[in-house]
Structure 1
């Protein structure tokens, strides 16, 4: 077979991905670190209750979890990056190996409370990309019939933030009927789906966290890095 014409390709930055380059799986390591964000400030917030239920499941599956409290988080650009809640959020994101985003559906869309949290998370902090290559699970609660509007929006955002967004997702309709007076989720197919989603998140996190750097290693970025290094060498030789 003749070789394809790839005249535009930088052969020094080009590689053929192989399984042999993947880091070996680690059998004994730390618990998966999962950060959970929710999208409502109400006293009885169903997105918060669903998030807490998810955290219980993740803990039972062996994960370490943190739930970020969005109270007192300023609007994006309404404060500097040094604001304590902004710093807390960013530190949590850097700590995490995976995330769960849970939003109520408001006016057919995700809530501004959750969007504000995501908007405070930059694509890079110095040389560190805090979300790239990490896993993400999505859930939404609705006051009426089942909908996927908030989920679809969050899925777009997850891709934009370079997160590995898992296929499964949870949409809880008429959420006010699905939790008891103590804030615990009642047995139902909705609850079973939440279990499914958290189980899938843990599996994807275990499969990808040790090889995330390899999975997001890109030709274009290797090429750019090589060009920058070459330019520095030339400047030093002048």
Structure 2
């Protein structure tokens, strides 16, 4: 007798090339929510987000930058709080996110983490982050580091987002922006363009398939929910017995 558990074929959904050609692909501009992690008057994470916003809009995207001022600490207010509701509504509206945090004490800031902690994995059958694309960035007060972007990648995985490979980490951010708050020409700016281009490409590639890409056998099984078009799986019953 095999020690391996039998599959439940009625819940399987073997990938096929045809499944990656959705019947309808959204025709509206890609929608992005941009989050930053500092409340300082001259916040370099906000300035980098604003530069990313300009690039995305120049590529034809629709964007929203969330202002975290006035957002209560997690569990210190109800989900009906206006700032919480605004954040959640924007995440549901979006098809992709851009996250940027300063690195503070080797990690993301509390301001940034509070925003993520207010986004539930699921609420009323709606998942505000699952299947959305994500680009991660950080700004540094000193030499280049990657602790914050590494933490953001962990958060993105936990929120079941499709995090793109490229990322941006800007060293000595105070030297990289002019008095008007615009990013100076540099290799850091070129990398930012790379990241936003890649985010657009991944979003256009996946947005008609996002629900399929993150649909899980284990969840379908626990919910008693067979995949769409499950009739063709009947032949697998004998293999699992």
TM-score in same-fold range (> 0.5)? yes
* SS of residue paired to 1:210: coil
Which residue of structure 2 lines up, in the alignment, with residue 142 of structure 1?
140
Deviations 1:137-158 (A, max 9, x none): 0000001000001011110000
What is the number of residues matched between the two proteins? 225
Which residue of structure 2 lines up, in the alignment, with residue 204 of structure 1?
202
Which residue of structure 2 lines up, in the alignment, with residue 161 of structure 1?
159
How has the CA–CA distance of structure 1 residues 24 and 109 changed in structure 2, closer, same or farther, with 3 Å as cutoff?
same
2:25–2:208 contact (8 Å) kept in structure 1: no
Which residue of structure 2 lines up, in the alignment, with residue 193 of structure 1?
191
Distance 2:20 2:26 in 1: 17
Please state how far the C-alpha of 1:224 moved relative to its aligned partner.
1.6
Distance 2:128 2:199 in 1: 18
Residue segments in structure 1 that go unaligned for 5+ positions in a row: 229-238
* SS of residue paired to 2:190: helix
Question: Which of structures 1 and 2 has the larger relative contact order (alpha carbons within 8 angstroms, sep 6+)?
Answer: 2
Which residue of structure 2 lines up, in the alignment, with residue 89 of structure 1?
87
Distance 2:22 2:9 in 1: 27
2:26–2:208 contact (8 Å) kept in structure 1: no
Please state how far the C-alpha of 1:210 moved relative to its aligned partner.
0.6
* SS of residue paired to 2:145: coil
Distance 2:61 2:116 in 1: 22
What is the TM-score with the length of structure 2 in the denominator?
A: 0.90
Which residues in structure 2 correspond to 1:199-238 (within 5 Å)? 199-226=197-224
* SS of residue paired to 1:167: coil
Please state how far the C-alpha of 1:108 moved relative to its aligned partner.
1.2
What is the TM-score with the length of structure 1 in the denominator?
A: 0.91
Please state how far the C-alpha of 1:188 moved relative to its aligned partner.
0.1
Please state how far the C-alpha of 1:5 moved relative to its aligned partner.
8.8
Give the counterpart of 2:124 among 126, 141, 144.
126
Deviations 1:98-152 (A, max 9, x none): 0000000111111110000000000011111111110000000001000001011
